[in-house]
Amino acid sequence: MEQLYPYLIIIGSSILIAAGWLLYSYRTQILLSQKLIRLNEDLNYDLPDFLRQCWPSLKESGFAGLSWSLNWFGTYVSGSNGKTDGRMLEKRFDVQEITLTVRLYLHQRSWEYRFISSALADNFFLLVRMNLWVKLGAVRSTFEQTAKMTVFLQHDVKNMAQLMKLTAEQLDNPVPGQEDKLIESMREVIPAVRDRAEHMLNTLTNKSADNLESSHDLNALLEQTANMYELPSTINGETTTVKLPKNNLQSILDNILGNFSRQANKSSAQKPDVHIDLEREDDFVKVTITDKNGAPCLWPERLFEPFWSEFGTGRGIGLYQARQHAYAAGGSLTAESMANTPLIFVLKLPA
Amino acid sequence: MAAETHDKLDASVKDKGKILVVEDDLALRKMLFNSLEMQGFIVNEADNRQSALDILQDNQEISVVILDLGLPPMEHTTDEGLNVIRQITDEMIPVKIIVLTGQDEERSALEAIREGAFDFLSKPASFEDILISVNRAFLFHHNELAMSADGVTRLQLSTKMSDGLKAVREEAEEKLVRQVLKETGFNIYQSAAKLGIKRESIYYFMKKFGISRDND
């Protein structure tokens, strides 16, 4: 037995050394992964920049080479570093207007190196995929904003054009005997035109008087919006005003009540019976909105998720946007959902 | 040119003509109001759906409504304007609706006409075009009143052809029964006589289409 001791010591030491080495390698790979993540953050998740600058970290991780070819919104770019032949890991990404093929070349090494390299490669590919979706999300959001601005311009500029056209025609061709009335009419209309033009300019430059803390009659807007959706509603609580831009307030109420309206249309089992309770809490107004005849919400966790909609017609951004507006004003918008009870929205807005 | 159009208008129609302008833009509403008033029309104004419907209920002499589809609280969509048209047709208020809007023309025009609008003008429209449309609306309105006095009722149906004859017949039946009941103040005897059917049939149709005195 004693003769075996040296062998046992050698075997035990070898196991310890191997385990230590594996742990060291694993830790090194984690640090290199973190380095890649930090690089990606520093580059603001920009995919082309990341592909151009990731090679030093990958080389440090033990990769032999990198090559990529990218179709970036119609423009083809490519790059390569290190040795680009031999064993490789290849991934292809094809998302809307972006296509990317990326190859990572491996050294001829032992299985443990290959195992660690493939784990790191997975992290790298994950970062690439994330950058793709971040870019597409940003593009989509910009288009949403542009679409909103276009709709605004379409409505307001066409009104302005209509007004100018009518004014010019009236001045060019006044009704005989009505000249004094025309001048009187202009006195009334021109200040309103000035106000409208200022409003447009302020909205375009994001300096709307609306952005100032103007107060709005919450009860009236709630009633008006419920009527618009033809929702039978009861408003309890004293008349109150809230301070936030009117457009944002309208958007919040429209999205909450619109949600109840769509739910009611979907089920059509019972007529909706919307109850709205207003309660003053220090400097805030708490608004609790529920449809007593409504069905329980099946996807409570999805309510405020952007681009998720259970209705085919929606873009899935309404409630998300409503929540953003409420938080921007210093308030909040939450939903309470319990099994077998109708959904309750709780909105807090500055009074 | 506008004055020429003005001259062409039937003076008796125009002097008595009552118009409602529904527009949320104060400046444009005032301009339309004054321009039409200078042409001899009696003009009412509203800046949202509810006040428009209230005015129409209180002023049954109004024959023509000039309507902007983008009304508060949803100025940048056509929803609220279309709701106005829908409510006017549902409540069978005898007016001609001229849509004057800057919203996405083709789609809005189709929807507005489907809901029962008489005409569609896209902003910016010339005053001459507005006057021509108003003139036509008055003419149609007066003709329909005259036809109604002779016992002829004009119905507007918006059923899809693909739904078949049955759907068309049912929509026509419902509209006709609703209209006659409204005209007779829900007098079942008079309605039955006017439609040439038995009183039991009136009750049958009321049950079938969910018509009750309260909701009409």
The string of pLDDT tens digits covering residues A215-226 is 888 998 898 888
Nearest CA in chain A to B70: A155
Contact residues, chain A, for B49 at CB < 8 Å: 227-228
CATH code of the domain covering residue A340: 3.30.565.10
Q: Is B6 on the interface with A (CB under 8 A)?
A: yes
Shared domain check, A297 and A257 = yes
**pLDDT (0 to 100) of residue B194:** 79
Q: Measured between alpha carbons, how far is A24 from A32 in angstroms, rounded to an integer? A: 12
Q: Measured between alpha carbons, how far is B25 from A19 in angstroms, rounded to an integer? A: 77
A253-262, B1-10, B50-59, range with the lowest pLDDT = B1-10
Three-state DSSP class for residue B130:
helix
Looking at per-residue pLDDT, the higher value among B59 and A205 belongs to: B59
Nearest CA in chain A to B31: A189
Task: For chain A, positions 200-229, list CB contacts with chain B under 8 A.
Answer: 221, 224-225, 227-228
| A273 phi and psi angles, rounded to 5 deg | -140, 85
Nearest CA in chain B to A197: B27
Shared domain check, A337 and A224 = yes
Q: Give the total number of structural domains in chain A.
A: 3
User: For residue B25, what are the contacts with CB-CB under 8 A and spacing of at least 6?
Assistant: A159, A163, A196, B68
Q: Is residue A253 part of a domain?
A: yes
Q: Which domain holds residue A6?
A: 2-139
Looking at per-residue pLDDT, the higher value among B156 and A331 belongs to: A331
> Along chain A (351 residues), what's the average pLDDT of each consecutive run of 10 residues?
85 90 82 91 93 92 91 92 90 91 84 73 93 88 74 79 90 85 86 81 64 76 84 88 85 88 74 91 92 84 75 64 88 88 92 87
Of A159, A181, A210, the position where a domain reaches its end is A210
Q: Is B31 on the interface with A (CB under 8 A)?
A: yes
- State ipTM: 0.70
Mutate which of A166, A180, A217, A252 to disrupt the B interface (most B C-beta within 10 Å)? A166
pLDDT in tens, A318-347: 788 889 889 988 999 999 888 888 999 999
Q: Which among A161, A181, A250 has the least Cβ separation from residue B123? A: A161
Q: Measured between alpha carbons, how far is A234 from A251 in angstroms, rounded to an integer? A: 20
All domains of chain B in start order, with CATH? 2-149 (3.40.50.2300), 161-209 (1.10.10)
Shared domain check, A67 and A172 = no
> Is there a contact between B21 and B35 (Cβ–Cβ < 8 Å)?
no
Q: Which among A158, A178, A254 has the least Cβ separation from residue B102? A: A158
**pLDDT (0 to 100) of residue B127:** 93
**pLDDT (0 to 100) of residue A111:** 65
| B44 phi and psi angles, rounded to 5 deg | -110, 160
Per-residue b or e along A106-116, where b marks 16 or more CB atoms closer than 10 Å to that residue's CB = bbeeeeeebeb
Packing angle between helix A111-172 and helix B26-38, nearest 10 degrees?
30
**pLDDT (0 to 100) of residue A206:** 61
Of A115, A139, A163, the position where a domain reaches its end is A139
Look at B102 and A167 and tell me if their CB atoms are within 8 Å.
Answer: no
Look at A169 and B2 and tell me if their CB atoms are within 8 Å.
Answer: yes
Whether the predicted pLDDT of B2 surpasses 50:
no
Nearest CA in chain B to A171: B35
Q: Measured between alpha carbons, how far is A221 from A290 in angstroms, rounded to an integer? A: 17
Residue keyed to tokens 């769509």: A262
Packing angle between helix A111-172 and helix B127-149, nearest 10 degrees?
80
One DSSP character per residue, A190-245 reads HHHHHHHHHHHHHHHTT--GGGS--EEEHHHHHHHHHHHTT--EEEES---EEES-
Q: Is B160 on the interface with A (CB under 8 A)?
A: no
Looking at per-residue pLDDT, the higher value among B105 and B204 belongs to: B204
Q: Is residue A144 part of a domain?
A: no
**pLDDT (0 to 100) of residue A315:** 54
Three-state DSSP class for residue B181:
helix
Whether the predicted pLDDT of B23 surpasses 70:
yes
% chain A with pLDDT above 90: 30
* β-pair type (A241-243, A98-106): unpaired
Shared domain check, A229 and A156 = no
Q: Is A193 on the interface with B (CB under 8 A)?
A: yes
